[in-house]
């Protein structure tokens, strides 16, 4: 059997019009035209912008990153002073953003899970309290919540001179919270390395234990063993490092409290604000995840005599995770992106530092392009990790 | 705040694409076509630019825009105000969102040469100081080692602060908040020991925002030079000329003793050739600027001369005397280029 056009004969070679009428050719052609137009528009925008910036005598390029920043930043996880360059300043901002985002994600997951489970509690008071919490904090814009916490913290606590001391060495003031910390010593670096080694060892032991259980059915007390390995390694490193005991205790000196580790009101306001706000969404995700697990699973666990709390942990939550992880990823991304509101309460996050940089150098487009790509990168990283986690948690078809 | 900045940057790209910005005369033509001057001002700094109880903007920075509107459009009220934070101001100007920025802005090399801006005059000579609660018992800025300092970002203040403490070998902890209201609230709640900005700004904050102004002192040290003035975007020389001479005409009028009250009389009767040129009795100046001959007359008639504007806004509201902002003839720095 031959195709219809063959009936008309192969003599006539395909004309240009025939090509245009070919579905496959058309599909490719349209895409080429669309991409071409996008590239053209992009090129037009970029070249015109550069051209006009030049006409207005606004300098362009990323050369400013090597210049001295000459402004101070309130809190930094790395060495920074006004003598450092703009690139270092932006790195400080990035690390501050990561710090508040990571802590926020961990805390909002914990708090959100508790409230999500509590919303389904059989206890009337617990259930209603959880509902009130979720409905209140979910329905107030997060920026206003940040303002609220930032107005509350400095005015709720006394001036450093009259600092509250709820625990020995821990100070609460209008300038934030001060904690005693060990004075830096090589032993602590050693302990960090030991902790990483311990984790690797635990992974090996775990895979061995799983193999043994699969082969012999004998369970292995992995949690206790892991804890033992971890504590043992770290403590050994501490002893090898000379067992330093010197502590940096916060105390009033001059204007401020010196020594110890300071958790600033700005950081606290952002962390509390983001955590509380996002935890309400996490609570809803967890609740819907649990409710998505068929009731039969509860009943099955019940009929086997499994306690309700154990059933929740071992039967229901693992299954609800499959439903919950994708929307949870959204909430983590939202939290990371919302952390850019920190600029409103003076927490030196990436946007805050970029804003200052932009103003001192006048490189608005460059600075914005830097922080937009960083946020994009952070979000993609979070997505990648959560996708991997999702795959891992997904039902394994046997 | 971040969103505004991004929007402004977006607007910048769009404006750049529109490519009308850099043509000479375009801004003036645009103002005549739309019928008002778009003026970037401070979000709220009494004496310089703040909205009063009726929502009307007033202050010496506002008077600059009112003067220009009077000169160009004949009506000092034909101004639309865009309140801007320190961090937003230059983007707004570069993008063409505003025609002129009159927002206590310090003239510096970087801003003049790298940001595509033109400073058209200095309407207030200032310097940076420190505001501190009396209760701390500090009498000099040299005693501020270890202090926590509240400061607005994107300002020369932020840089001077770091420079000063570095030069003195002292340390400080900055608390950087963009919105001036949030920043002062943080200071008054005790988050910071010290608030720093230009001395005039400190006076404004102390008299208008402190619960009890007597509980706060401004330290004697002035750690920087802050020549504040109106700014326009580079590339439209005619527009920068109009803005520059609208301001200088106010100073020139004060030198000649021409005031809001006597300007009609002076115009009719003065035989001083300088006054006759300024008020358009002998023509030529208006034409040179691309305006009509009564441009300066209208500025003085509607807004007053520099001294009147200063008296009405700065002295009356903040209690600050003329100081170095007096006319050069009185030993100050205000010196008008001759209108001729």
- Side-chain-side CA neighbours of B198 within 13 Å: the count stands at 22
- Side-chain-side CA neighbours of A144 within 13 Å: the count stands at 6
Average pLDDT estimate for B129-133:
94
Least confident of A39-48, A59-68, A104-113, B315-324: A59-68
CATH fold group of domain B2-125+227-322: D-Maltodextrin-Binding Protein; domain 2 (3.40.190)
| Residue A149 and residue A272 in one domain | yes
Which of A73, A358, A362 is opposite residue B110, by nearest beta carbon?
A362
| Residue A45 and residue A103 in one domain | no
Say yes or no for a CB contact (<8 Å) between A254 and B176. no
Say yes or no for a CB contact (<8 Å) between B177 and A348. no
Q: Using CA atoms, how far apart are residues A194 and A166, in angstroms rounded to an integer?
A: 33
Average pLDDT estimate for B246-253:
96
Q: Using CA atoms, how far apart are residues A351 and A357, in angstroms rounded to an integer?
A: 10
pLDDT of B22 higher than 50: no
Say which DSSP state A66 is in: G
Q: Quick one: pLDDT at residue B5?
A: 52
Chain A residue with Cα closest to B92: A364
User: What is the tens place of the pLDDT at every residue in A98-109?
Assistant: 999 999 999 999
Residue A116 in any domain: the answer is yes
Q: Using CA atoms, how far apart are residues B225 and B159, in angstroms rounded to an integer?
A: 12
| Residue A44 and residue A147 in one domain | no
Q: What is the distance in angstroms between the Cα of B98 and the nearest Cα belonging to chain A?
A: 15
Query: How are beta strands B100-106 and B147-151 bridged, if at all?
Result: unpaired
pLDDT of B82 higher than 80: yes
Q: Using CA atoms, how far apart are residues B89 and B40, in angstroms rounded to an integer?
A: 7
Q: Count of A–B CB contacts within 8 Å?
A: 166
Say which DSSP state B284 is in: S
Confidence band of A10 (pLDDT split at 50, 70, 90): low
pLDDT of A289 higher than 80: yes
Overall number of domains in chain A = 2
Other residues' Cβ atoms within 10 Å of the Cβ of residue B225: 14
B232-249: burial string, b at 16+ Cβ within 10 Å, e else: bbbbbebbbbbbbbbbbb
Q: What is the domain extent for residue A33?
A: 16-55
Chain B residue with Cα closest to A158: B190
| Residue A379 and residue A308 in one domain | yes
Say yes or no for a CB contact (<8 Å) between A254 and B146. yes
Q: Would you say A183 and A247 are in contact if contact means Cβ atoms under 8 Å apart?
A: yes
| Residue A152 and residue A20 in one domain | no
Residue A170 in any domain: the answer is no
Q: What is the pTM of this model?
A: 0.78
| Residue A41 and residue A141 in one domain | no
| Residue A93 and residue A34 in one domain | no
Q: How is chain B split into domains, by residue range?
A: 2-125+227-322, 128-224
Q: Using CA atoms, how far apart are residues A92 and A103, in angstroms rounded to an integer?
A: 17
Q: Quick one: pLDDT at residue B87?
A: 79
Residues with Cβ within 8 Å of residue A325, at least 6 apart in sequence: A386, A389, A390, A393
Nearest to B44 by CA among B78, B76, B83: B83
Residue with tokens 């706060």: B216
Q: Identify which of A83-87, A155-159, B13-17 has the greatest average pLDDT.
A: A83-87
φ/ψ region of B35 (left if φ > 0, alpha if ψ in -120 to 50, else beta) reads left
Q: Given A55, A76, A105, which residue is the final one in a domain? A: A55
Say yes or no for a CB contact (<8 Å) between B2 and A55. no
Q: Quick one: pLDDT at residue B21?
A: 44
Least confident of A226-230, A281-285, B302-306: A226-230
Q: Using CA atoms, how far apart are residues A396 and A147, in angstroms rounded to an integer?
A: 46
Edge-first strand listing for the sheet containing A170-173: A164-167, A170-173, A176-179, A261-263
Q: Using CA atoms, how far apart are residues B258 and B297, in angstroms rounded to an integer?
A: 10
Q: Quick one: pLDDT at residue B17?
A: 42
| Residue A43 and residue A97 in one domain | no
Chain A residue with Cα closest to B110: A361
Say yes or no for a CB contact (<8 Å) between A362 and B116. yes
User: What is the tens place of the pLDDT at every residue in B147-174?
Assistant: 999 998 878 888 999 999 999 999 898 9
Q: Which two tokens stand for residue A33?
A: 């035209």
Residue A104 in any domain: the answer is yes
Say which DSSP state B322 is in: -
Residue with tokens 């420079």: B163
Note the maximum CA span of chain A: 101
State the DSSP string of A144-177. HHHHHHHHHHHHHS--GGG-EEEETTEEEETTEE
CATH fold group of domain B128-224: D-Maltodextrin-Binding Protein; domain 2 (3.40.190)
Confidence band of B6 (pLDDT split at 50, 70, 90): low
State the DSSP string of B228-278. EEEEEETT-HHHHHHHHHHHHHHHHHHHHT--TTTHHHHHHH---HHHHHH
Q: Would you say B183 and B155 are in contact if contact means Cβ atoms under 8 Å apart?
A: no
Chain A residue with Cα closest to B182: A345
Q: What is the distance in angstroms between the Cα of A280 and the nearest Cα belonging to chain B?
A: 24
Q: Quick one: pLDDT at residue A308?
A: 87
Confidence band of A59 (pLDDT split at 50, 70, 90): confident
Contacts of B155 in chain A (CB under 8 A): 359
Question: Do the domains B128-224 and B2-125+227-322 match in fold?
Answer: yes
């Amino acid at each position: 059997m031959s195709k219809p056009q063959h009936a008309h004969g192969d003599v006539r070679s395909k004309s240009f019009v025939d090509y245009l009428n070919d579905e496959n050719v058309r599909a490719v052609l349209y895409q080429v035209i669309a991409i071409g137009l996008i590239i053209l528009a992009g090129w037009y925008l970029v070249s015109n912008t550069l051209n006009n910036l030049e006409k207005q005598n606004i300098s362009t390029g990323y050369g400013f990153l090597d210049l001295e920043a000459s402004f101070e930043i309130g809190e930094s996880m790395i060495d920074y002073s006004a003598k450092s360059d703009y690139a270092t300043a932006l790195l400080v901002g990035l690390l501050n953003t990561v710090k508040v985002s990571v802590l926020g994600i961990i805390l909002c997951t914990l708090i959100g899970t508790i409230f999500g489970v509590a919303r389904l509690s059989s206890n009337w008071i617990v259930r209603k309290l959880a509902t009130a919490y979720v409905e209140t904090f979910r329905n107030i814009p997060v920026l206003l919540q940040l303002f609220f916490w930032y107005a509350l913290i400095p005015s709720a606590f006394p001036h450093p001179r009259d600092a509250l001391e709820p625990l020995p060495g821990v100070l609460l003031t209008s300038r934030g919270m001060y904690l005693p910390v060990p004075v830096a010593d090589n032993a602590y670096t050693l302990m960090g390395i030991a902790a990483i080694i311990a984790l690797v060892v635990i992974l090996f032991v775990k895979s061995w234990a799983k193999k043994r259980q699969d082969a012999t059915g004998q369970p292995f007390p992995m949690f206790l063993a892991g804890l033992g390995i971890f504590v043992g390694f770290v403590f050994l490193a501490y002893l090898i490092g000379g067992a330093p005991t010197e502590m940096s205790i916060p105390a009033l000196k001059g204007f401020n409290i010196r020594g110890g580790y300071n958790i600033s009101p700005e950081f606290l306001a952002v962390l509390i604000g983001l955590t509380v706000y996002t935890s309400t969404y996490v609570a809803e995700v967890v609740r819907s995840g649990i409710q998505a697990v068929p009731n039969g699973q509860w009943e099955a666990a019940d009929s086997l005599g499994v306690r309700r709390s154990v059933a929740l942990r071992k039967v229901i939550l693992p299954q609800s995770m499959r439903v919950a992880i994708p929307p949870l990823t959204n909430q983590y991304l939202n939290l990371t992106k919302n952390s850019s509101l920190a600029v409103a309460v003076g927490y030196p996050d990436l946007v805050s530092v970029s804003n200052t940089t932009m103003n001192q150098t006048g490189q608005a487009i460059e600075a914005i392009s830097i922080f937009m790509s960083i946020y994009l990168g952070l979000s993609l990283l979070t997505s990648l990790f959560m996708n991997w986690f999702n795959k891992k948690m997904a039902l394994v078809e046997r | 705040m971040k969103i505004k900045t991004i929007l402004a940057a977006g607007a910048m790209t769009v404006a750049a694409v529109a490519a009308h910005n850099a043509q000479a005369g375009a801004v003036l033509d645009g103002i005549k076509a739309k019928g008002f001057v778009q003026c970037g001002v401070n979000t709220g700094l009494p004496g310089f630019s703040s909205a009063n109880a009726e929502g009307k903007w007033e202050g010496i920075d506002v008077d600059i825009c009112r003067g220009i509107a009077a000169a160009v459009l004949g009506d000092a009220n034909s101004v639309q105000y865009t309140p801007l934070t320190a961090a937003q101001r230059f983007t707004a100007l570069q993008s063409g969102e505003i025609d002129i920025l009159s927002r206590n802005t310090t003239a510096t090399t970087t801003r003049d040469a790298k940001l595509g801006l033109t400073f058209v005059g200095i309407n207030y000579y200032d310097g940076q100081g420190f505001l501190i609660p009396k209760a701390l018992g500090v009498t000099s800025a040299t005693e501020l080692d270890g202090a926590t300092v509240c400061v607005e970002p994107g300002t020369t203040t932020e840089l001077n602060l770091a420079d000063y403490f570095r030069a003195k070998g002292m340390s400080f902890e900055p608390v950087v908040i963009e919105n001036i209201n949030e920043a002062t609230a943080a200071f008054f709640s005790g988050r910071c020991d010290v608030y720093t900005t230009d001395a005039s700004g400190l006076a404004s904050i102390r008299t208008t925002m402190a619960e009890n102004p007597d509980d706060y002192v401004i330290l004697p040290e002035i750690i920087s030079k802050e020549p504040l003035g109106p700014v326009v975007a580079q590339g439209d020389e005619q527009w920068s000329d109009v803005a520059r001479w609208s301001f200088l005409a106010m100073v020139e009028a004060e030198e000649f003793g021409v005031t809001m009250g006597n300007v009609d009389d002076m115009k009719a009767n003065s035989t001083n050739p300088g006054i006759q040129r300024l008020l358009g009795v002998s023509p030529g100046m208006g034409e040179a600027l691309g305006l009509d001959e009564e441009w300066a007359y209208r500025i003085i008639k509607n807004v007053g001369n520099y001294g009147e504007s200063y008296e009405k806004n700065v002295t009356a509201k903040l209690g600050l005397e003329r100081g170095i902002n007096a006319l050069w003839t009185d030993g100050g720095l205000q010196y008008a280029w001759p209108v001729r």
